[in-house]
Amino acid sequence: MINKIKGTYDILPEDSAKWQDLEDVIRNVSKLFNFKEIRTPIFEYSELFHRGVGETTDIVKKETYDFEDRGGRSVTLRPEGTASVVRSIIENKLYADATQPLKLYYQGPMFRYERPQKGRYRQFHQFGAEAIGSNSPLIDAEIINYAATFLQALRIKNIKIKINSLGDAESKELYKEKLREYLRPNIHQLCGDCNRRYEENPLRVLDCKVDKDNPVLIEAPKPLDFLTEESKYHFDQVIAALDAIGLDYEIDKSLVRGLDYYTHTVFEIDADLESLGAQSTLVGGGRYNKLVESLDGPDTPAVGFAFGLERLLLALESVDKPQNAPFIHCFMIALGDDVQADALTMVNDLRHGGLICDYDFFNKNLKGKFKQAERLNAFFILIYGEEEAKEKMINVKDTRSGIQERVPLRNLYNYIVNNLNPSHGSCSGNCSSCDEC
Ligand code: HAM
């Protein structure tokens, strides 16, 4: 028997609906923020990631799947999406589009040769978004808001938004110098990898998984203390915008992120959920004002994020989602031959108003009819007999609350819509953006 490769997994038919639901929310929320989808190849010339993500990062040093193709070219399975999107916008000259910034999102498999564990795989999936062409701090806040709104739509709670700034290129250089000075007398206390990182790029010492709790790293100088005036102003504006939007965040002075391309804002959102295990970071992102230029495009500022979909699915295990069960809005029970035509017309009118309705076509006893409504998970059972017809009324039973009311026929549609979702009157029960869905 040939087994799957370590760190990969099959999405079996019983799980594919969960993926499709997640992909629907990605599309819906991206539409709300007016981001358009871009799809790029899953492999690229290796040079793209070496130059884009950075030679000294763990991703490029230890985790990429590199191979030579039959033409002798060095190619790499993409470890992330940002470098590919930037390559594509340069190659297709999208940076010259009239509508700026370019607002793009993507989803698909990524590949990293990491030690597999719950929430960490060698083939995993990301949903990422990139806003390319604007240096406005408002778009940094918009990107963070987009990520947070997506989590709200999924009803994932217990999240913590952590934000920091690395500043512009000048601030980063100044900080690197200060960090190197600080590390010089202490570097022998850190691991072999850190000694190498210290020489090549001291910022990467701060990503060390071995020494992450070492006091030498905990007490290291922080980038926020070395920002130029301009960078500090940018960061203050991002914070002001997040305050205006009303998002809760925490400034995490130690957050640097593991990819070399970041400048200014960096952020991550963690969730404190048992189902996630140790891999609690759902999304990471930030501004990367020099990447487009470093990949031979014009000087173009940009900011973005990427979620890991497997981690989102693990987080969703902690979320109650009763609405995931198939449901219909109304089930009509018409009692007596004379009222059948009227009842069918009513059902049709409700459908034209966007409600999912079904009808009792069997001549079962009343108990059987109610059983059928229950099987279909009808939110409302409509009971219409000759007496109701005479009075131009109908009985409506809300199966979730158990409340039954007699409603004038002319008010039926409004009654249903207003009571569909007790806290969000106009939601049809599957909008994926209100509190209940
Ligand atoms: P990243 O932090 O390397 O950033 O990855 C983003 C997210 O992908 C992580 O927070 C995590 O949820 C998920 N992830 C990463 N590695 C794995 C893995 N081995 N298994 C499962 N999930 C994983 C980036 O990739 C940047 N391109 C984000 C970005 C976009 N920055 C600006 N624009």
Q: Write out pLDDT tens, residues 19-29.
A: 999 999 999 99
pLDDT exceeds 60 at position 51: yes
Across the chain, what does the average pLDDT equal? 92
Total of domains in the chain:
2
Domain end among 316, 348, 379? 316
Rounded Cα distance, 26 and 127, in Å: 8
The pLDDT value given to residue 363: 75
Rounded to two decimals, the pTM is 0.78
Which residue has a Cα nearest atom 13 of ligand 1?
308
Q: Does one domain contain both 126 and 247?
A: yes
What is the residue type of 125?
A: H
What is the distance in A from the centroid of ligand 1 to the CA of 195?
25
Average pLDDT score over residue span 134-157: 95
| 99 alpha carbon, distance to own chain's centre | 24
Domain span at 239: 13-168+228-316
The pLDDT value given to residue 212: 85
Q: Does one domain contain both 259 and 408?
A: no
- Domain presence at residue 121: yes
Ligand 1 site residues, Cβ closer than 6 angstroms: 80-82, 112, 114, 120-121, 124, 126, 128, 130, 259, 281-286, 288, 304-308, 310-311
Q: Does one domain contain both 33 and 153?
A: yes
In tens, the pLDDT along 195-222 reads 988 988 999 998 888 888 899 999 999 9
Is 323 within 8 Å of 155 (Cβ atoms)?
no
Going by the DSSP 8-state scheme, the letter that residue 272 receives in this structure is: -
What is the distance in A from the centroid of ligand 1 to the CA of 259?
10
Average pLDDT score over residue span 398-417: 94
- Which residues is 405 bridged to in the sheet? 396
- Domain presence at residue 211: no
Q: Does one domain contain both 378 and 301?
A: no
- Domain presence at residue 56: yes
- Domain presence at residue 250: yes
What is the distance in A from the centroid of ligand 1 to the CA of 257?
10
- Which residues is 334 bridged to in the sheet? 384
| Residue 126 CA, closest ligand 1 atom number | 8
pLDDT exceeds 70 at position 321: no
Which of 63, 78, 80, 88 is the pocket-test mutation for ligand 1 (most atoms within 8 Å of CB)?
80
- Domain presence at residue 337: yes
Of all residues in the chain, what percent carry a pLDDT higher than 90? 82
Going by pLDDT thresholds of 50, 70 and 90, the confidence category of residue 324 is low
The pLDDT value given to residue 381: 97
What is the distance in A from the centroid of ligand 1 to the CA of 285?
8
- Domain presence at residue 198: no
The pLDDT value given to residue 322: 55
| Residue 122 CA, closest ligand 1 atom number | 19
Q: Does one domain contain both 93 and 23?
A: yes
Average pLDDT score over residue span 137-157: 95
- Domain presence at residue 369: yes
Q: Does one domain contain both 86 and 46?
A: yes
Average pLDDT score over residue span 84-102: 94
What is the distance in A from the centroid of ligand 1 to the CA of 212?
19
What is the distance in A from the centroid of ligand 1 to the CA of 115?
15
What is the distance in A from the centroid of ligand 1 to the CA of 126?
7
Average pLDDT score over residue span 270-289: 94
pLDDT exceeds 80 at position 361: yes
The pLDDT value given to residue 362: 83
Rounded Cα distance, 110 and 132, in Å: 21
In tens, the pLDDT along 215-226 reads 999 999 999 999
Say which CATH number the domain at 97 has.
Answer: 3.30.930.10
What is the distance in A from the centroid of ligand 1 to the CA of 100?
25
Which residue has a Cα nearest atom 2 of ligand 1?
284
Q: Does one domain contain both 309 and 338?
A: no
The pLDDT value given to residue 56: 87
The pLDDT value given to residue 426: 44
Domain end among 283, 316, 349? 316
Structure tokens of 149? Answer: 């709104």
Which residue has a Cα nearest atom 21 of ligand 1?
120
Say which CATH number the domain at 378 has.
Answer: 3.40.50.800
Q: Does one domain contain both 391 and 306?
A: no
What is the distance in A from the centroid of ligand 1 to the CA of 59?
10
pLDDT exceeds 90 at position 140: yes
Which residue has a Cα nearest atom 15 of ligand 1?
308
| Residue 304 CA, closest ligand 1 atom number | 33
Domain end among 285, 316, 347? 316
Rounded Cα distance, 343 and 347, in Å: 6
Which of 110, 118, 143 is the pocket-test mutation for ligand 1 (most atoms within 8 Å of CB)?
110
| Residue 79 CA, closest ligand 1 atom number | 25
What is the distance in A from the centroid of ligand 1 to the CA of 136?
24
The pLDDT value given to residue 393: 97
Average pLDDT score over residue span 325-338: 91
| Residue 112 CA, closest ligand 1 atom number | 19
Task: Give which of 277, 270, 279, 302 is closest to 289, Cα–Cα.
Answer: 302
pLDDT exceeds 50 at position 410: yes
Q: Does one domain contain both 336 and 279?
A: no
Which of 311, 312, 313, 314 is the pocket-test mutation for ligand 1 (most atoms within 8 Å of CB)?
311
The pLDDT value given to residue 420: 84
Q: Does one domain contain both 298 and 375?
A: no
Q: Does one domain contain both 366 and 308?
A: no
Reduced to 3 states (helix: H, G, I; strand: E, B; else coil), residue 303 is strand
What is the distance in A from the centroid of ligand 1 to the CA of 268?
10
Strands 328-334, 357-359: parallel, antiparallel or unpaired by DSSP? parallel
| Residue 121 CA, closest ligand 1 atom number | 20
* Alpha carbon separation from 325 to 60, 297, 312, 320, 429 (Å, rounded): 43, 48, 19, 11, 11
- Domain presence at residue 3: no
Q: Does one domain contain both 49 and 161?
A: yes
